[in-house]
Structure 1
Amino acid sequence: MKKTLISVVGPTAIGKTKLAIDLAVKYNTAIISADSRQFFKEMKIGTAVPTSSELAAAQHYFIQHKSVLDAYSVGDFEREAVVLIEKLFLKHQILVLVGGSGLYVNAVTKGLDNFPEVAPDIRASLNQKLATEGISTLQELLKKEDPSYFEKVDLQNPHRLIRALEICLGTGKPYSSFLAQTKSKRNFNVITVGIEADRELIYDRINQRVDMMLANGLLEEVKSLLPYKDLNALQTVGYKELFKYFEAEWELDFAISEIKKNTRRFAKRQLTWFKKSKNTIWVKHNENLDEILKKIDHHTNEK
């Protein structure tokens, strides 16, 4: 029987960590995190890293293993994750992948598009442009360099804009021309389980989570990262808003309301991304584990 990777996806604050741990305990297996911000050890509170008891319940990988000072791309993650997964499959029939970062999930489950290497100073220059001129300058530049990708990309995500622009500027070709090339085949099955809930409930859980992060010391965490605020890793909801508070641009109450608003928008984009997949098994946020296991078994037997 082919090895199987169960990928747990869904919007932020919906309960992916709990389901992933429940599945890992059930199958006596390990968890691979595909949350692109939980990688960074300085960003613990604002990224909702699993608690000590959650981490102890099952073996986790790719949690707090990098520094924000490290250069670490989705390509680096793909290479490291696939090597680790192949190693873990030597002793496990099933593994669990969990995360709300769609690009990082796809990197493991489907493989990345193949892009050429470009000079690192191009990215540095674009980051500087973002810091001094704002995101609108990057949006206009992408519209000029690659109008096709401009129509598809999340224009509020500076990481996506900078990634596309560095390819455009470094190769002289549109970023979109490198998409949809032949990707690496995976030698394991992938079963994707998506968690969903009514939008009002998701938004309520997001608001509660932000309040809990603040109670747990988010302000202190963000303040400690102020010297590094221009790094890519820190262009993240929950951090960038509080940087504005610490720099006296915003009042604290307004910054907190912006975190909640931007997190709700992020959750909406996550759902849009994950809903594109046709083979996802969708389950309710409060669905019984036994029912979820039945759906997974049924899906497996259909293949």
Structure 2
Amino acid sequence: MSIQANTVIFLMGPTASGKTDLAIKLSQQFPTRLISVDSALIYKGMDIGTAKPDAETLKKYPHHLINICNPEEPYSAHDFTKDAKAQIKIAFEKGETPILVGGTSFYFNALEHGLSTLPESTPESREKFNQLLRKKGVAALHHDLEKIDPKSAQRIHPNDAQRITRALEVFDISKKTLSQLQGNKQAGLIFPIKKIILMPPRPELHARIKRRFLSMIDNGFLTEVKTLKTNPNLHPDLPAIRCVGYRQAWQYLNNKINLEEMIDQAIIATRQLCKRQSTWLRSEKDALTLETPDIAKALEFLEK
């Protein structure tokens, strides 16, 4: 089959929609490079609760930008766009079509449309704000941001530790607020983009989410979180531990909630994530939307 040269494929969908399976089916049809667009799959040692493709699948169908940092290390949308653009460049050099597959809408948006040009983080500044987060907590840091940059504070959720600390760090480094700097944008992707959205009916997604989480519990998810808890650098305000499922399991292992509450809360949180992702995806233009991973329709769309 023939796809227009230097085309980038965005394969998007809410959690549990079957994106990985469709990406693999496409990989069997033409030379591709699979690039993960997922803010949870980046973390090493977080395999079961993130529904990461298993080791055998990753060996046969490598996904780039999976397992690239430790759970205590910060990783921003800026980091992602830089890494993703590097992978896209490699794909084109090798005669492959890059398929960006995942559910993190902020990453897709940043890559397509560009991000504000902000000062680079340094290891020292990241450590400084990680320490502040641990010492003061996310609510107090959000309050600090309200004083410095009310516009950003209003836009950023009070529990979003990563974006709050980044906004404070930007001000600390540049002496300018995030709101002031966000007018200057770096370029987005300059290549043609073909978008495929996998969107099963909501009742089916909800059923899959429940089945998948119960299966995670059976497959050792709590043991995985117990192992994470032995790392003294990890705490509940870090983006990694705020991932759905991990946050609730952490609370359960700290005896804050019982097992039944943990399971219910994790499933509800995953469904809420699914709803947010679906709302964003419905606003996408010029995309092929599929209820099932119909490879024939996908190939026909890509060849147009």
Shared fold, TM over 0.5: yes
- Show structure 1 runs of 5+ residues with no match: 299-303
Query: 2 CA distance for matches of 1:49 and 1:128?
Result: 29
Task: Report deviation, 1:224.
Answer: 0.4
Aligned to 1:22: 25
Query: 2 CA distance for matches of 1:291 and 1:167?
Result: 45
Task: Kindly report which structure 2 residues correspond to 1:96-111, keeping only aligned pairs within 5 A, or say none.
Answer: 96-111=99-114
Query: 2 CA distance for matches of 1:207 and 1:176?
Result: 39
Instruction: Provide the secondary structure at the position in 2 that maps to 1:88.
Output: helix
Q: Which stretch shows the higher mean deviation, 73-82 or 119-128?
A: 119-128
2:241 matched to 1:237? no
Given residue 280 of structure 2, which amino acid in structure 1 is its aligned partner?
W
Aligned to 1:297: 303
Residue 264 of structure 2, aligned match among 254, 257, 262: 257
Instruction: Provide the secondary structure at the position in 2 that maps to 1:192.
Output: strand
Q: Which stretch shows the higher mean deviation, 254-263 or 167-176?
A: 167-176
Instruction: Provide the secondary structure at the position in 2 that maps to 1:166.
Output: helix
The alpha-carbon distance between structure 1 residues 201 and 191, as it changes in their structure 2 partners (threshold 3 A), is same
The alpha-carbon distance between structure 1 residues 275 and 122, as it changes in their structure 2 partners (threshold 3 A), is farther
Aligned to 1:283: 290
Given residue 51 of structure 2, which amino acid in structure 1 is its aligned partner?
A
Query: 2 CA distance for matches of 1:60 and 1:204?
Result: 27
Task: Report deviation, 1:131.
Answer: 4.0
- Show structure 2 runs of 5+ residues with no match: none
Contact 1:119 1:170 in 2 (8 A): no
The alpha-carbon distance between structure 1 residues 26 and 246, as it changes in their structure 2 partners (threshold 3 A), is same
Instruction: Provide the secondary structure at the position in 2 that maps to 1:112.
Output: coil
Contact 2:72 2:234 in 1 (8 A): no
* TM-score normalised over the length of structure 1: 0.86
Residue 9 of structure 1, aligned match among 3, 7, 12: 12
Aligned to 2:273: 266
2:209 matched to 1:202? no
Task: Report deviation, 1:64.
Answer: 1.9
The alpha-carbon distance between structure 1 residues 153 and 214, as it changes in their structure 2 partners (threshold 3 A), is same
Listed one character per residue, the Cα deviations across residues 106-138 of structure 1 (whole Å, up to 9, x for unaligned) are 343333321013565555454445445544333
Aligned to 1:136: 139
Contact 1:24 1:95 in 2 (8 A): no
Query: 2 CA distance for matches of 1:155 and 1:202?
Result: 28
Query: 1 CA distance for matches of 2:141 and 2:274?
Result: 23
Q: Which stretch shows the higher mean deviation, 45-54 or 226-235?
A: 226-235
Listed one character per residue, the Cα deviations across residues 188-226 of structure 1 (whole Å, up to 9, x for unaligned) are 221121221332222221111111111111000000011
Q: Which stretch shows the higher mean deviation, 192-201 or 128-137?
A: 128-137
2:195 matched to 1:188? no
Instruction: Provide the secondary structure at the position in 1 that maps to 2:195.
Output: strand
Instruction: Provide the secondary structure at the position in 2 that maps to 1:26.
Output: coil
Aligned to 1:61: 64
Aligned to 2:160: 157
2:231 matched to 1:224? no
Instruction: Provide the secondary structure at the position in 1 that maps to 2:87.
Output: helix
Q: Which stretch shows the higher mean deviation, 100-109 or 129-138?
A: 129-138
The alpha-carbon distance between structure 1 residues 19 and 156, as it changes in their structure 2 partners (threshold 3 A), is farther
* TM-score normalised over the length of structure 2: 0.86
Instruction: Provide the secondary structure at the position in 1 that maps to 2:108.
Output: helix
Please give the root-mean-square deviation of Cα atoms over the aligned residues, in Å: 2.5
The alpha-carbon distance between structure 1 residues 123 and 61, as it changes in their structure 2 partners (threshold 3 A), is closer
Query: 1 CA distance for matches of 2:65 and 2:6?
Result: 20
Query: 2 CA distance for matches of 1:121 and 1:91?
Result: 37
Query: 1 CA distance for matches of 2:141 and 2:279?
Result: 23
Listed one character per residue, the Cα deviations across residues 80-102 of structure 1 (whole Å, up to 9, x for unaligned) are 33222212212225221111122
Contact 2:116 2:185 in 1 (8 A): yes
Residue 87 of structure 2, aligned match among 61, 84, 87: 84
Given residue 269 of structure 2, which amino acid in structure 1 is its aligned partner?
N
Task: Report deviation, 1:37.
Answer: 1.7
Query: 2 CA distance for matches of 1:107 and 1:77?
Result: 9
Contact 1:68 1:233 in 2 (8 A): yes
Query: 2 CA distance for matches of 1:40 and 1:156?
Result: 20
Aligned length, in residue pairs: 297
